[in-house]
Amino acid sequence: MTAISDREKLAYMAAQAADARLNVELETEGMTLNLGPQHPATHGTLRIVAKLDGEQVVSCEPLCGYMHRGYEKLTEVRSYPQVTTLVNRIDWLGSFANEVPFILAAEKLMGIEAPPRAQWIRTILFELSRIANISLFLGDLGLQLGAQTMGFYAFRDREYVLNQIESATGGRFHPNFDRIGGLKDDLPKGWIDETRRAVGKLRDFCDETDDLMMGNEIFQARTRGIGVIPADVGLAYGLTGANIRGSGVDWDLRRDNCPPGLVYDKIDWKVWTHPDGDSFARTWVRLQEVREAISIVEKLLDSIPSGPIMAKVPRIIKVPEGEAYVATENPLGEMGYYIVSKGDLVPFRVKIRSASFNNVSIVPWVARGAYVPDLITILASLYFILGDIDR
C-alpha cells in the first residue's frame, strides 16, 4: 500500500488523466444514462442523468424533487410543537436527531434551558440515532458494492438500537419525543442497562464490519482513490459531517459549536478525520464515528443525573420575536434551522438547512470523469437520504 501523500498524488494524476481522456480522445457519440428515480443506490427517488463517453461520465446532473414535501411552507401554518412531527420525516433513519436543532432554536429564542437530566437523555438518544443511521449506511454501502452479507448484518444489529429508541420514546422510526424545555417522558425502568447491552452488540458489529469490509481487498480496490474531494472544494460546496472529515477537515459541531442543551462538552471523546478524501476515507470515518458514538453513549449512561425532565414552560407556546440559527452534527452532517419568529404561535419563516442537500450538490463535480460503477460507489459513500435533500 502506498503512503498517503503518494495516494493523493495518484488520485490527482488520475483526475488529470481523466480530463485528458475526455478532451483529447476522438469524439464518440455520447450516451445518456438514467439512474433512478428508483435505483437502489439513490436511497429513495433521486434521478441522476449521466452523459457518458464509453464507460466514463462526462457530466451528470442529479434531478431531485420527486419527494419534495414543502416543509418550509408547512411550518408556517404549524405551531412550534407541531413542527417536530414534520421535521421528524426529513432524515428518516435518524429521526430524533432532526427534532433536536429545531427545539434548541426555539429554546434559544424563548430563553429556556432543559433540565440536566433531559439534556443527558437528549444527547443519548441523539447518539443512538447516529448509531442506527450510520450502521445501516455501512451495510448499505456493502450491498452497493456486492457484499450482501454486510446488509444483513446491518439490518440485524440496527434493530437492537431501534428497540431501545422505541422503548424509550414509543416510536421506532419517528419518536417525536423532544419538547421545548425538555422531553416528553422519562426513561422506562431498566432502560439504561438494556441500552448498555444493546450498544455492546453494535460494537461487535463495528468489529465485524472492520474485518469483513474495510479489510477486504475488493472493497479497498473499489473505494481507494475513488471520488476524491479536496478539502477546499468540499468546504465551498458546504459538505459536512463525515464527508468533510474524510477530507481531513477537523470540524465537528458537537465539539466546535455545541449549542446549549446537549452535553457533549461534559465528557471526553474524539473527532475522527482521514486525510485521503476518497470514498474509503468517508466510510472509514463513519465507522469510527459509530464506535465513538457507542463510547459516548456508554459514558453518558454512567453519568446521567437525576431530576426533572421538563422545565417550566407555558402551556401555549409563543416564541418571542427574533431570529436564531441552531445547527447540530447530525448523522448525515450539519443540520440546522434558521427560525424567524414574530411572536406568534407559528414560526414566520423556517429555513431548513439539511446536510444531504449540500452533500449531493457536489455530485456533478466529483463524478466528472468517473467510471459508471464508481459513480455508484461515490453516491453510496457520500451517503444521503432523499428526505434530507428534498425536505
Partner 1 sequence: MSSAEGTVAEETEAEVERDEAREALLAQFTAELGDAVIGSHIRPGDALWVRVDAAAWRTAAEYAKGGLHCEFFDFLSAIDWLPSPFGRDMDSQEDLVVHGKEPKEAPPMQSGYAGGDTRFQVLARVASTSRGHDVILKADVPDDDLSIDTWMPVYAGANWHEREAWEMFGISFAGHPHLAHLYLPGDFEGHPMRKDYPLLARRVKPWPGIVDVEPMPGGGDDEGGDGE
> From the CB of 65, what's the least distance to partner 1, in Å?
4
Query: Under the rule (CB under 8 A), what is the footprint of partner 1?
Result: 64-65, 68, 70, 72-74, 76-79, 82, 108, 181, 232-233, 235-238, 249-251, 255-257, 265, 268-270, 310-316, 322-325, 327, 334, 336, 338, 340, 342, 344-346, 349, 351, 353, 357-358, 361-362, 365, 390
Residue 220 cell numbers, joined: 479497498
CB of 289 to partner 1, least distance (A): 16
| Cis peptide upstream of residue 37 (ω within 30 degrees of 0) | yes
Nearer to partner 1, 45 or 163 (CB): 45
Which position has the grid cell 430563553? 111
Sequence-distant (6+) residues with CB within 8 A of 206 are: 135, 287, 290, 291, 294
86: nearest Cα among 71, 105, 107, 104? 71
Q: Which is nearer to partner 1, 229 or 287 (CB)?
A: 229
Nearer to partner 1, 10 or 340 (CB): 340
Nearest distance in Å: CB 372, partner 1: 23
Strand pairing class (322-330; 31-35):
unpaired
Minimal distance, residue 235 CB to partner 1, in Å? 5
Q: What angle do CA 130, 134, 136 make, to 5 degrees?
A: 125
Q: Of 126 and 160, which has the nearer Cβ to partner 1?
A: 126
Cβ closer to partner 1: 204 or 250?
250
Q: Nearest approach, Cβ of 302 to partner 1 (angstroms)? A: 16
CB of 60 to partner 1, least distance (A): 14
**List of residues 6+ apart from 16 with CB closer than 8 A:** none
Decide: 297 and 127 in contact? Cβ < 8 Å.
yes
Nearer to partner 1, 100 or 360 (CB): 360
Tell me how far apart the alpha carbons of residues 139 and 157 are, in angstroms, rounded to a whole number.
Answer: 10
Closest separation between CB of residue 219 and partner 1, Å?
A: 29
Residue 82 or 216 having the CB closest to partner 1 = 82
Of 64 and 228, the one with the shorter C-beta distance to partner 1 is 64
Return d(Cα 307, Cα 12) in angstroms, integer: 56
Please report, for residues 174, 222, 232, 302, 362, the alpha-carbon distance to residue 228 in angstroms, rounded to integers and kept in the order given: 34, 13, 12, 40, 11
Helix (H) or strand (E) holding 322: strand 322-330
Residue (156 or 351) nearer to partner 1, CB:
351
Q: How far is CA 91 from CA 129, 163, 174, in A?
A: 10, 18, 10
Nearer to partner 1, 222 or 291 (CB): 291
Spatial contact of 242 and 370, defined as CB atoms under 8 Å apart? no
What's the closest the beta carbon of residue 316 comes to partner 1, in angstroms? Answer: 4
Shortest Å distance, C-beta 66 to partner 1: 9
- For the stretch 334-372, what's the b/e string if a residue is b when 16 or more beta carbons lie within 10 angstroms of its beta carbon? bbbbbbebeeeebbeebebbbbbbbbbebbeebbbbbbe
Give buried/exposed letters for 302-315 (b at 16+ CB in 10 A, else e): eebeeeebbbebee
| Cα–Cα dist 239/159, whole Å | 29
Nearest distance from C-beta of residue 345 to partner 1, angstroms: 5
